[in-house]
Structure 1
Amino acid sequence: MTLRIALAQIPVEHGKPEENYKKVAQYLSKAAQAKADVVVLPELWNTGYDLARLEEIADVEGQRTKEFLQAKAQDYKVNIVGGSVAIKEHEQFYNTTYIVDKQGKLISEYRKVHLFRLMDEDKYLAAGDQKNVFELAGVKSASFICYDIRFPEWLRTVAKKKLSVIYVVAQWPQTRIEQWKALLVARAIENQAYVVAVNR
């Protein structure tokens, strides 16, 4: 099987959800025009790392994002690995990925497990604790968020499910981009799976 995958390396606007939803809509349209089977978005594309303002800008229960991604997937007949967005749920904030198939069905979601303390994620966000394995475009897959890839044991426990594709979404800094590349290659070799990664 061959998949055409579009990676939306979007320059996320810090703390400006309205601009970011418009930008993502444009990228999804371009990916559909290019006949992509799957589109992958970056980490925290709705708010960027404006963590101090999550109370006012996070997506409540992810409702807006889910409806947005489901509508676009259905309109364009494209599968979407929805990067991740900041959501508020039960008075806590999470860095959350939504996976939507081309029929517009939400098939999986994942909350970032490993929070990056150097950017104070642990002060603003709650960590997830669930694996995220799903079938997308007929391929058994899993997704992770940014700093997760520094924990090979975590990916390995998930990859034991005999995955073919590992999706990684990130806002990895330019100053450490060589580590990003090396870690992605290492995770692919260790798990004998394709790694599809998109950075902002």
Structure 2
Amino acid sequence: MAGHETHYTLPRAVFDKPVKILIVVAPYYKDIADNLVAGAKAEIEAAGGTWDLVEVPGALEIPTAIGIAGRMGNFDGYVALGCVIRGETTHYDTVCNDSSRAISLLGLQGQCIGNGILTVETRPQAEVRADPAGQNKGGGAAAAALHLVALARKWGTASKGVGFKPASEEYRLAGSTKGTPSA
């Protein structure tokens, strides 16, 4: 039974300078969201980091908020938290797939995101996963974000661009010598 399995957990990430994480939560199921947030906050603080918290209407808005914060904010990483419980319509599939896909795309663009959006069949499944004293998926999502921030810091700032390089102050046109334009 899955509830009795043990899983390897990476040691907590260690930082030489503080980390600032944005927790983005969709509190549709408020009690579940509160537990996810509590787990995430505790993990971030245990790693010596600080956090800000923003609420959005639903799971589909989480990636948009992270994208905006990535462009306009000053965060090292992000924790995406929420809960989607299967209902009677296909809306569940849309919300699960599209929120996950958008978070993955943001990650591929360089954002350090821990995805803690629960996708479950029943409320009891969500309660067990969200419980900070239980499966603590909020803490796990924060740990994932922190590990990605640690990797980003280890590898340094982006030095390799894609596409064209901007022209430097000094350049030479083919067939000319420095300082004399070719005619």
TM-score for both structures, normalised by structure 2: 0.34
User: Which structure is larger by alpha-carbon Rg, 1 or 2?
Assistant: 2
Higher relative contact order (CA 8 A, sep 6+): 2
More strand by share: 1
TM-score normalised per structure 1: 0.32
